Amino acid sequence: MNAPHAEPAADEKAIDETSIRYEGWPVVGVCFLIATCAWAGGFYGQGVYLAELQRLHGWPASLISTATTCYYLFSAVLVVFVSEAIRALGPRRLLIAGILCMAAGTALVGQVTSLLQLYVVYALLAFGWAGTSIAAINSTLGLWFDRKRGMAISLALNGASCGGIIGVPLLVGAAGRFGFPATTIGAGAVMIALAIPAILIWVGRPPRRAHPVAASGLAPPPVAQSITEIRRAAFASLSFWTVTVPFALLLLAQVGFIVHLISYLDPMIGRDRASIAVSVMTIMAVIGRVLFGLVADRLNQRTASSISAISQAAALVVIINIHNEAVLFAACVVFGFSVGNVITLPSLIVQREFNAAAFAVIVGLVSAICQFTYAFGPGIIGLLRDASGGYSVPFYVCAALELLAAAIVLVRAKAPQM
């Protein structure tokens, strides 16, 4: 007599990620809001902080920039432990802690009166960045989504672009009207007022899944591994490195190029037009991420990554050699179309090639290594610019890194069993 088939658990049976009523979609909206706050205060806001601190205190830009680099490096170390934090605290508490640290750091950066205080505030801001940026958002959404994870992450990370499009102009405008100290306090208060209620209302208990890797076609791990074992297996895996290395190179080139773009374009088209070019690039990052999110789960994501890298390299070559304003704007459009996807694609490749039980740990490692690498991007481009007397050499180096990344990411090896 055949044994009856086991009925799926009620929670598992009820999961329909394609339904507009699925509880995971409000979590995507919350993560969008968190990304907006994180990138406005912790990434794009760095340029505003540098200019305002220089104006208020007369500190050398090099010393403030060094504090910014230390902030990125320290937060890269913290990002490695996001998976442990989510396991210990749960997604709701982690996101609340991250927002509180981000808001407090943003508020205090306008109150500092010495460089030592700035380093302390940036350390607090680093905790906020680790708890609200890519690794935290990807790991949180990974608890609610499997089949539609690509779309969910793409939609949520559009908040990163909104942080640049909306947050930075508001910070600059408010600083001019109310002063920098009052503006940073107001920005921190707005983060808390918007994000904390949203987290409390919509980020609850993740759905239970009997076999969270079933949709990816991978067998569930026979024995649960510790986080340390997962990291050890990842470091020994060629598949891990052919995701991490190319995206670290891409982000190093991308961040370095974007930080220096206004300085490059200023002599050719003026600062106002150069600022518009950066805005156009950021808007295209949103459009590119939304369009990609609609088809991400059906594409070969390594091939898509390679094409994105090649398109950015081609745009860089055009920007270096053709100084016509219309062509420069067109090249910025092409470059910007892939900007958002470069921070989305690593997690999608990890989802497809590694067991879901290891997703948060692997994404945290990839994010940390990438952030550690791109922290040096603006400085490397600046050194090459000073050494060569112009931006052609450093931008060609960026293009070469993009092409190298395009080749490495196509190398697919067997992922380790985790």
Answer yes or no: do 251 and 137 share one domain: no
Does residue 414 fall inside a structural domain? no
Answer yes or no: do 178 and 262 share one domain: no
Does residue 380 fall inside a structural domain? yes
What is the extent of the structural domain holding 177? 23-202
pLDDT at residue 385, rounded to an integer? 83
Work out the pLDDT band at 14, boundaries 50, 70, 90.
Answer: low
pLDDT tens digits, 48-68: 887 788 889 988 877 787 788
Instruction: Choose the final residue of a domain: 171, 202, 233.
Output: 202
pLDDT at residue 5, rounded to an integer? 43
Answer yes or no: do 232 and 311 share one domain: yes
pLDDT at residue 213, rounded to an integer? 40
pLDDT at residue 222, rounded to an integer? 40
pLDDT at residue 356, rounded to an integer? 76
Answer yes or no: do 231 and 302 share one domain: yes
Answer yes or no: do 198 and 261 share one domain: no
Does residue 229 fall inside a structural domain? yes
- For the residues 112-118, what does the mean pLDDT come to? 94
| Between 311 and 298, residue with greater pLDDT | 311
pLDDT exceeds 90 at position 317:
yes
Answer yes or no: do 243 and 187 share one domain: no
> pTM of the full predicted structure?
0.76
Does residue 55 fall inside a structural domain? yes
Least confident range of 172-176, 315-319, 394-398: 172-176
Work out the pLDDT band at 209, boundaries 50, 70, 90.
Answer: low
Answer yes or no: do 254 and 286 share one domain: yes
Does residue 13 fall inside a structural domain? no
CATH code: domain of residue 106: 1.20.1250.20
Answer yes or no: do 192 and 251 share one domain: no
pLDDT exceeds 50 at position 297:
yes
Work out the pLDDT band at 418, boundaries 50, 70, 90.
Answer: low
If you compute the radius of gyration of the chain from its CA atoms, what whole number of angstroms results?
A: 21
Answer yes or no: do 400 and 333 share one domain: yes
pLDDT at residue 339, rounded to an integer? 87
Answer yes or no: do 128 and 67 share one domain: yes
Does residue 211 fall inside a structural domain? no
Instruction: Choose the final residue of a domain: 140, 169, 202.
Output: 202
Q: What is the mean pLDDT of the chain?
A: 85
pLDDT at residue 397, rounded to an integer? 95
Does residue 219 fall inside a structural domain? no
Does residue 14 fall inside a structural domain? no
Answer yes or no: do 128 and 171 share one domain: yes
Answer yes or no: do 152 and 119 share one domain: yes
pLDDT at residue 357, rounded to an integer? 78
pLDDT at residue 224, rounded to an integer? 44
pLDDT exceeds 80 at position 47:
no
Instruction: Convert the chain into a string of H (helix), E (strand) and C (coil).
Output: CCCCCCCCCHHHHHCCCCCCCCCHHHHHHHHHHHHHHHHHHHCCHHHHHHHHHHHHHCCCHHHHHHHHHHHHHHHHHHHCCHHHHHHHHHHHHHHHHHHHHHHHHHHHHCCCCCHHHHHHHHHHHHHHHHCCCHHHHHHHHHHHCCCCHHHHHHHHCHHHHHHHHHHHHHHHHHHHHHCHHHHHHHHHHHHHHHHHHHHHHHCCCCCCCCCCCHHHCCCCCCCCCCHHHHHHHHHCCHHHHHHHHHHHHHHHHHHHHHHHHHHHHHHHHCHHHHHHHHHHHHHHHHHHHHHHHHHHHHCCHHHHHHHHHHHHHHHHHHHHHCCCHHHHHHHHHHHHHHHHHHHHHHHHHHHHHCCHHHHHHHHHHHHHHHHHHHCCHHHHHHHHHHHHCCCHHHHHHHHHHHHHHHHHCCCCCCCCCC
Query: Domains in the chain: how many in total?
Result: 2
